[in-house]
Amino acid sequence: MPLPPTFDTAPAVCRAGEFQFAPGQTHQNGCVQSRALFWCKSGHGTFRVNGREYTLEPHDLYVLPWNRRIEYLASRREPMFTAHVHVVPWLRPGSEWVPNVPHERFEPLFDSPDRADVVWEGCEDVVRLHIDTEGPLGRLINYITCWFRETPRLEAEGRSLGVLVVRELQRKLKRSAPNSDRRPEELSRLLVHIDRCFQESPTVEQLASILGRSRSHVLKLFQRHLRMSAKAYILGRQIREARELLLSTTLSVGEIGRLAGIADPYHFSKLFRRMVGMSPSHFRHLGEPLPAGEGPSVHNRVPPPPAVESGR
């Protein structure tokens, strides 16, 4: 049973990372003991939590419950690129902080007496939110994934980040009104147009002319239903194209930026780093997808922290 919300909780981030799914790739975990923030940065797919299916679209952030059974299915056309942050809501003060969470009942730490769930008000079940890369929660998730991947991961930092995640999530839940999954026909038309000509970086005025409506009407459509600006959506589509080209071609970074619709190499690299959390060349080096099909759980392999060189 989860601890009550009035309990003096001690949250900690115990795992984080990013993952590029291969087309049509499936994956499942039997029982994950964490509260997770699962962010679809780009691409599409579906997943099931305890038998219930959910869709994944760019900028979706799902808050996932403790002790969940989860199955993933990536789109064959545009597989999702995701980020995840695993939070243990209560990690006993003074206990050992281990940078991992069990994903199966037979794994170490499963039902550890030093770890427990806590009631998060408003998150009794799966919760779907929409976030922007430039928003506080998006920036925090990007920082945490880089921290887990590229630093020695100190315990004090893991515990402090856990507090930050919980507090920022609470703020986001208070700010977010219920989201409707139904999109107006006008917005759907614009999204189809953007998908066909994002390389040309269409302006808001050009989008408005397609509908025969005002610029402010287009801005309201995107903000009301996607929780982002039209410019941010177009940029996200361009970065998604760049990611796919980085993983599937040997083209130069500058050429990939041009093909994605961002001609200036410096500007492209700056935008890519801001939205993905790493440079295009670093992403190409680290972001190769696993082959499609069944295989060992990627969650069971904990990458060692980088060695810390002593100063001379």
pLDDT in tens, 110-158: 999 999 998 887 887 899 998 877 788 988 999 999 999 999 999 999 9
pLDDT in tens, 214-266: 999 999 999 888 878 899 889 988 988 898 888 878 889 999 999 999 999 99
In whole angstroms, give the CA distance from residue 122 to residue 119.
Answer: 9
In whole angstroms, give the CA distance from residue 240 to residue 41.
Answer: 8
Query: Across residues 182-205, what is the average pLDDT?
Result: 88
pLDDT at position 279 over 80: yes
Distances (CA, A) of 235 to 97, 103, 231, 290: 38, 34, 6, 26
Second CATH level (architecture) for the domain 185-226+229-286 = Orthogonal Bundle (1.10)
Of 177 and 108, the one with more pLDDT? 108
Rounded to 5°, the CA angle 70-188-83 comes to 30
What is this structure's pTM? 0.64
In whole angstroms, give the CA distance from residue 12 to residue 166.
Answer: 9
Domain residue ranges in the chain: 12-175, 185-226+229-286
| Residue 268 near residue 254 (C-beta atoms within 8 A) | yes
**What pLDDT is recorded for position 307?**
45
Of 35 and 192, the one with more pLDDT? 35
Superfamily classification of domain 12-175 = Regulatory protein AraC (2.60.120.280)
Query: Across residues 147-171, what is the average pLDDT?
Result: 93
Angle between helices 265-276 and 253-260 in degrees, nearest 10: 80
